[in-house]
Copies of this chain bind each other. A is one copy, B any other.
Amino acid sequence: MSAKPLDYENLNENVKKCQYAVRGELYLRASELQKEGKKIIFTNVGNPHALGQKPLTFPRQVVALCQAPFLLDDPNVGLIFPADAIAKAKHYLSLTSGGLGAYSDSRGIPGVRKEVAEFIERRDGYPSDPELIFLTDGASKGVAQILNAVIRTESDGILVPVPQYPLYSATISLLGGTLVPYYLEETANWGLDTDDLQQSVAKARSQGITVRAMVIINPGNPTGQCLSEANLKSVLQFCYSQNLVLLADEVYQQNIYQDERPFISSRKVLMDMSQPISKELQLVSFHTVSKGYWGECGQRGAYFEMTNIPPKSVEEIYKVASIALSPNVPGQIFLGLMVNPPKPGDISYEQFARESQGIIESLRRRAQIMTDGFNSCRNVVCNFTEGAMYSFPQIRLPPKAIEAAKRAGKVPDVLYCLKLLEATGISTVPGSGFGQKEGVFHLRTTILPAEEDMPAIMDSFKKFNDEFMDQYEDHQGYSRM
């Protein structure tokens, strides 16, 4: 009998082709080891609550009350919920049509989209239109929706930074488009060079690719750099000159660990520019409740905002969103709470401020501990994590390690990360999953393990790395150079 429709050989080739290293070979091996009883530190994915970060109390109180609206009439509710959480729950329920159990409009609850627009206006100093804001089940879903509108055939190209978060490479593969890489410069703290961009586009065009969009991730994932205003301006000018839509992945905008380069949104920089660019350049910006000091990954709450996208196209994107009916409603409420948190004077303000500042300050210290830890290791160099949630050290693998990997049929950094996992339980993602220059190797780890565990984790890494280097380094060569 011939192969059946869902046999491997009959599957859609784009499905088979796409790769998603964040939950790839390393993650699968880590899950196996965990099942066997080994203690695994899952630093493969930015998932703060899985590593012990406590949720912010106030938003959880509000969403709990929205889930159980009958409590609002319970005379005892005030014994376990503060009055401002009760008021906020009533507010959000009044914005829904039927509570958390009803589908919302496919773009999200209009009242929440209005709150998002007000947040953007406060942040950037320019008005934002709720009709151009769509809520989604996590930012990944929004990125896929926009790329699906952009990619028509395999000759449509999307400029993506390398190293990149593999959501982009995987989604582009799945949609049958072509990834056009541009390289971030590690020696310039993962800076973005517009000359290099120009070359990437020229090369792609010479191969018959129609470059249609550019992705930036700011703060960077996996690279952790924060783009300066001047950098963003040159990116916007470049996109305008090349007729590209800019997809600005700004999900880490609350995760900033230095003071020289605060987060500036692409939209603000665009609005600050003169016409025609400020009125013409097409921009889609992404944000989420999964990151920041929220870390509410499991709730799947996010939005994208469209700038200079014509109404007819917005309608088409709305139509496609409608097929899945509605993003999850609790996640929408979290998004409302994120853009509209407790204010000074509110009963819950102090606790909220204490909790959120505590998380960001600890992340800042952890970023430093991790960078310093990696830089103290033999053959490891690491830029400081200016923002986001990751450390991305370069591992200078000795030639013998590279040969050993080849013999084992593994990419060299995959071999390194697997050995690290087996020796220490630290589950990372090899740099090859994000893309890197040839012959250069990295790993990505989150900076999310609990602060008190961090020194032990870095000691354990250092010990492993020393042993690895001892094993593979050619002492007759390397060490005397």
Also in contact, A101 and B49, with CB within 8 A (given A64-B65, A70-B57, A79-B79): yes
Closest chain-B Cβ to A57's Cβ sits at a distance in Å of: 7
Within 8 A of B (CB), among A232-264: 243-245
**A5, B212: Cβ atoms closer than 8 Å:** yes
Nearest CB to that of A213 among chain B residues? B5
**A140, B323: Cβ atoms closer than 8 Å:** yes
Closest chain-B Cβ to A156's Cβ sits at a distance in Å of: 9
Number of copies: 2
Also in contact, A174 and B67, with CB within 8 A (given A12-B152, A80-B77, A151-B12): no
Nearest CB to that of A52 among chain B residues? B98
**A99, B148: Cβ atoms closer than 8 Å:** no
Residue-by-residue, is A267-309 near B (CB-CB < 8 Å gives 1, otherwise 0)? 0000000000000101010000000000111111000001011
Count of chain A residues with a beta carbon within 8 Å of a chain B beta carbon: 104
Also in contact, A104 and B298, with CB within 8 A (given A149-B6, A282-B5): yes
Most B C-beta atoms less than 10 A away, residue of A60, A63, A96: A60
Roughly how many angstroms separate A296 CA and B151 CA in the complex, as a whole number? Answer: 34
Q: Which of B12, B140, B149, B319 contacts A20 (CB 8 A)?
A: B319
**B213, A47: Cβ atoms closer than 8 Å:** no
Residues of B within 8 A of A324 (CB): 137-138, 140-141, 144
Closest chain-B Cβ to A317's Cβ sits at a distance in Å of: 8
Q: Which of B1, B322, B326 contacts A300 (CB 8 A)?
A: B326
**B12, A150: Cβ atoms closer than 8 Å:** yes
Closest chain-B Cβ to A38's Cβ sits at a distance in Å of: 15
**A298, B20: Cβ atoms closer than 8 Å:** no
Also in contact, A7 and B310, with CB within 8 A (given A47-B102, A57-B70, A71-B64): yes
**A5, B150: Cβ atoms closer than 8 Å:** yes
Residue-by-residue, is A1-32 near B (CB-CB < 8 Å gives 1, otherwise 0)? 11011111011110110111011100000010
Within 8 A of B (CB), among A126-172: 137-138, 140-141, 144, 148-152, 167, 170-171
Which of A327-335, A360-368, A386-394 is the contact stretch?
A327-335
**B102, A6: Cβ atoms closer than 8 Å:** no
**B328, A50: Cβ atoms closer than 8 Å:** no
Residues of A at the B interface (CB closer than 8 Å) are 1-2, 4-8, 10-13, 15-16, 18-20, 22-24, 31, 45, 47-53, 55, 57, 60-61, 63-65, 67-71, 74, 76-77, 79-80, 96-106, 137-138, 140-141, 144, 148-152, 167, 170-171, 174, 212-213, 243-245, 280, 282, 284, 295-300, 306, 308-310, 312-313, 316-317, 319-320, 322-331
